[in-house]
Amino acid sequence: MSGTPADAMAACRAAFAEGRTRPLAWRLAQLDGLERLLVREGRALVDAVVADLGRAATEVRLTEVASVQREVATLRRGLPRWVRDERVRTPLVLHPARSWIRREPLGVVGIVGPWNYPVNLLLVPLAAAVAAGNAAVLKPSEEAPATSALLAERLGHYLDPSTVAVCEGGPSATEALVDAGPDHLFFTGSPRVGGLVGARAAARLVPTTLELGGKSPAVVDRSADVASAGLRIAWGKLLNAGQSCIAPDYVLVDDARAGELLEALVGAVRRLYGPDPWRSADYGRIVSDRHVDRLAGLLDGHGGRVVVGGEVDRVTRYVAPTVVVDPDPAAPLLQEEIFGPILPVVRVRDADEAAAWIRRRPDPLALYVFGEDRAVLDRLLATTRSGGVCWNTTMHQFASPSLPFGGIGGSGIGAYHGRHGVERLSQLRPVLHKGRRLDLPLAYPPYPAWKGRLLTTALELPSRLRVARRPAGGPPSVPTPQ
């Protein structure tokens, strides 16, 4: 299916109205189609992403193809259970009656994908949408043109083309998709653009899932295995040349371990990409000249000390893996999302100072905690907010279909992956069936005084009894978090 977003939306809506997408068999068939696409077109998808982003083919295979295959397998395995009607308790005063929740599709889901993971972050939301019984209109990123063209040309060969459409284009196509009035809009991108898209959707009463980003911190406690922390932070930061919404954006390290961590980070860069990462076949490039210039600007006047890297080659769009220690907190490097292979390291006294530092900034999409002291982890969980958390690793929260992936506050709205994606893109429709027998006239008007007293007593008695059993006094005391 091709044409404008409005045309695609109208055609998909007509197919949805016919009930085509509701049967479980249709949903499973679309997941099967996605799996065939990933198997049969896997090499072509990898080549397209490599052409668009200059990433290593193995890295693309793992993050763009294998990870989506794992998501599809999880959905296919669990879907028959997840979409069954769920019986729920009915209050005694409503008996004879029974209640249940039916999970129904929303309609047509609009999906706007990003350029940094142009396969994964388009097809995983699509898998959730069709698993929930929705039609879908997709808008791939224009900054990954080879991938966009391939998906537009091939997706209809594997999925029902009357219910799944791809519309290529730039920002105007995104605006047109929102204006076409999808029943739910799924957007992945920067917080700035996400705010604009979200506002446009809100003006049309279109509900949204916004997967954004922000400055995700890594906290290295004095109890950490610093060698392991350095390797795992460097790996997470430099995957896709730092162009990941959940990449560690900066490090807060206990001052007692800062020197060791810097040595570990420098050693990890050399271990992963050799003495000259420019020559490494496994180190990626920056997506565009504009982003290279943006990153070069972050390296100007940061006020810190570069301990490794710092080189920029605009011709090949190469920005070296770079670690900057003690930059100026007011510098753009510590104020803006970096989205590139530059890692600021800030010394702090302890985990409490790290928590205070995090709270002064917008809620991040991810929080990475390194240390062996569980009390420190619990304290950070209790005193900060983030979309997700990893303890002694980075990035892996995204790889588990069992965990909801999403942000909070400025880092996003809503979560998906596995069952959570099906729930997000379904309506939880409540149904109550009332039996015809024992239809007491007590509940119907008129309400003389005696009937009002009787009804009030019957409805309020459980609460009154619970309150009567509690000790008298003021509000219950709540322990203060330690």
315 lies in the same domain as 194: no
Instruction: Copy the structure tokens of residue 152.
Output: 């537009």
Are 89 and 128 contained in the same domain?
Answer: yes
Q: Is residue 435 one of the residues assigned to a domain? A: no
Whichever domain contains 223, its CATH number is 3.40.309.10
Task: Say yes or no: 123 and 221 in one domain.
Answer: no
In a domain, 131, yes or no: yes
211 included as an active-site residue: yes
Residue 433 lies in a domain: no
Parent domain of 246: 217-406
Let me know whether 168 and 239 are in one domain: no
Reading the chain (482 residues) residue by residue, the pLDDT tens digits are 457 999 999 999 999 999 999 999 999 999 999 999 999 999 999 999 999 999 999 999 999 999 999 999 999 999 999 999 999 999 988 888 999 999 999 999 999 999 999 999 999 999 999 999 999 999 999 999 999 999 999 999 999 999 999 999 999 999 999 999 999 999 999 999 999 999 999 999 999 999 999 999 999 999 999 999 999 999 999 999 999 999 999 999 999 999 999 999 999 999 999 999 999 999 999 999 999 999 999 999 899 999 999 999 999 999 999 999 999 999 999 999 999 999 999 999 999 999 999 999 999 999 999 999 999 999 999 999 999 999 999 999 999 999 999 999 999 999 999 999 999 999 999 999 998 887 778 878 998 998 888 888 888 888 888 888 888 766 666 555 55
Count of domains forming the chain: 2
Residue 450 resides in a domain: no
Looking at the structure, do residues 9 and 53 belong to the same domain, yes or no? yes
Active site residue 390: no
| 259 and 316 inside one domain | yes
Domain boundary among 406, 437, 457: 406
Domain match, 396 and 421 both: no
The domain that holds 151 is classified in CATH as 3.40.605.10
List all residues 6 or more positions away from 263 whose beta carbon is below 8 Å from its beta carbon. 230
400-410 b/e (C-beta count within 10 Å ≥ 16 → b): ebebbbbbbbb
Note whether 24 and 80 are same-domain residues. Answer: yes
Q: For residue 414, what are its two tokens?
A: 């809503």
Instruction: Looking at the structure, tell me whether residues 83 and 185 fall in a common domain.
Output: yes
Residues 133 and 223 grouped into a single domain: no
The pLDDT of residue 479 is: 59
Whole-number pLDDT of residue 459: 84
Catalytic residue among 167, 245, 337, 390: 245
CB 8 within 8 A of CB 167: yes
Catalytic residue among 59, 143, 211, 337: 211
Give yes or no: residues 208 and 223 share one domain: no
Is omega for the bond preceding 362 within 30 degrees of 0, making it cis? no
> Is residue 225 one of the residues assigned to a domain?
yes
- 291 and 424 in a single domain? The answer is no
Give the tokens for residue 89.
Answer: 């308790």
- Of the three residues 353, 376, 406, the one that is the final residue of a domain is 406
